[in-house]
Amino acid sequence: MRRRVDETAASKRTEGKSVKRETGEVQTKTKSSWWVWVKRGLIALCTLYVATPFILQFFPSVIQYLVYKHAVTYFVDLRRPCDLGLNHTVNMYLTSEAGVTLGVWHTVPEQKWKEAQGKSLAWYEQSLGDGSPVFIYLHGNTGNRAAPHRLGVANVLSALGYHVVVMDYRGFGDSTGKPTKGGLITDALHLYHWVRAHSKDSLVIIWGHSLGTVVATNIAVKLQEQGNPVDAVILEGAFTNIKCQKDSPNPSPGITGDFHTYSTTFPRTQLKQISIYCSMVKTANEDILFYSSLKKMTTPLMILHSKDDHMVPFRMAEELYNTAKSVLKSEDKVRLVAFDGSHGYLHNGLYRDPSLPNYIREFVQSVAK
Ligand SMILES: *[C@@H]1O[C@H](CO)[C@@H](O)[C@H](O)[C@H]1NC(C)=O
């Protein structure tokens, strides 16, 4: 009896030991597999780092993606702008050319929000001719019409009593096709003509942001040449020039013209970003220079720019302003609104400024006269 008890106790002890040993083994296993993953991750990163230039060279669509970043989505249903607080907005589609369908939102003036509930596309279309100014918002690269700063601008304009029409260019958001500079301009012109066809005698103003300022200026000049000028243009976060020297093998001195003069004042990292951007633009064979268009534009113009803009230096806004003044030969038709850097608006955040509505209202009134 006693022996048996001892035996059981002994076997329990050995059991305990073997359990301990097993746990020890499990621990070493976990540690080693963790280390293997870290190593794999590092190898993957190194490979990516080395392979990137080759990928860029051999896959133009990757470059196209990096220039426009059009496929960045915000995981929202673009057919339901009401989910994003735009309860007086209709989602619709326009065909700018064969095979290119553009997703568009039309937001009516805020005072109409109750009336707008459950209304059809036809009601929205008809409302465009109610006499309130109509803004066409041409967004920058990256993402789609649901990006928070784009919603922000739409809310400001709607609250002021204006219509806002926001489009995703081809390849952006739920629009079909692939983005190219020519394509973006075709799409914007198509939208403009659609708006003009429904807005009767209302003011039509184009608001371009970032890359959208290139599109805005280009179409304003085209419309002017066709004898059907747009009533006014607002440029937010506009740049003077991203021009890439064709013969330069090195992307860094590839920045010419206006950028060149900034190279001494630019922080190094920013300059590097631009030169990478520039080399991509060059490779993608996209000339996104628009300064030459601005030199022809005679449309009343308001330039909005934050002094802390981290993408486009404020000096460029001043340069645009001076150029526009000399083209328009008038101080009244062009204005520059600078936002203090202390607000932290950077490149996208101007819509948050409490005095922005006043600047816009005054500008619209000056154009309406
Ligand atoms: C609809 O939008 C308007 C304007 O933004 C807002 O004032 C109103 O409270 C919203 N109504 C509902 C039910 O969400």
Ligand 1 binding pocket includes 318 (Cβ within 6 Å): no
Say what the pLDDT of residue 285 is.
46
Higher pLDDT among residues 278 and 129, named by residue? 129
Question: pTM for the complete prediction?
Answer: 0.75
Q: For residue range 14-43, list pLDDT tens digits in order.
A: 444 444 444 445 555 566 788 888 988 998
Say what the pLDDT of residue 269 is.
44
Task: List beta partners, residue 104.
Answer: 92, 167
Ligand 1 binding pocket includes 314 (Cβ within 6 Å): no
Say what the pLDDT of residue 336 is.
96
Identify whether the C-beta of residue 351 lies closer than 8 Å to the C-beta of residue 316: no
- CA dist 236 and 206 (Å) reads 11
Q: 287-317 in b/e burial notation, b at 16+ Cβ within 10 A?
A: ebbbbebbeebebbbbbbbbebbeebbbbbb
Identify whether the C-beta of residue 239 lies closer than 8 Å to the C-beta of residue 312: yes
In the reported structure, the alpha carbon of residue 137 is separated from the centroid of ligand 1 by a whole-number distance in angstroms of 21
Ligand 1 binding pocket includes 113 (Cβ within 6 Å): yes
Higher pLDDT among residues 323 and 339, named by residue? 339
In this structure, the strands spanning 204-209 and 134-138 are parallel
What share of the chain in percent tops pLDDT 70? 72
Task: Copy the structure tokens of residue 160.
Answer: 């002021």
Residue to mutate (ligand 1; options 107, 113, 151; most atoms within 8 A of CB): 113
Three-state DSSP at 244 gives strand
Mean per-residue pLDDT, 101-126:
97
- 108 C-beta neighbours (distance < 10 Å), count: 24
pLDDT exceeds cutoff 60 at 263: no
Higher pLDDT among residues 248 and 102, named by residue? 102
pLDDT band at residue 267 under the 50/70/90 scheme: very low
For ligand 1, atom 13: residue with the closest CA: 87
- CA dist 170 and 101 (Å) reads 7
For ligand 1, atom 10: residue with the closest CA: 87
- CA dist 157 and 188 (Å) reads 19
Output the average pLDDT for the chain: 80
In the reported structure, the alpha carbon of residue 108 is separated from the centroid of ligand 1 by a whole-number distance in angstroms of 12
Q: For residue range 165-212, list pLDDT tens digits in order.
A: 999 999 888 999 888 778 889 999 999 999 999 999 999 999 999 889
Closest CA to 290 of 319, 314, 310: 319
Mean per-residue pLDDT, 152-177:
95
Tell me how far apart the terminal alpha carbons of the chain are, to the nearest angstrom: 113
Helices 2-58 and 60-68 cross at an angle (nearest 10°) of 90
Place of tokens 């059809």: 120
Q: Quote the radius of gyration of the chain (alpha carbons, Å).
A: 28
In the reported structure, the alpha carbon of residue 360 is separated from the centroid of ligand 1 by a whole-number distance in angstroms of 22
Cα atoms found within 13 Å of the Cα of residue 280, Cβ hemisphere only:
21
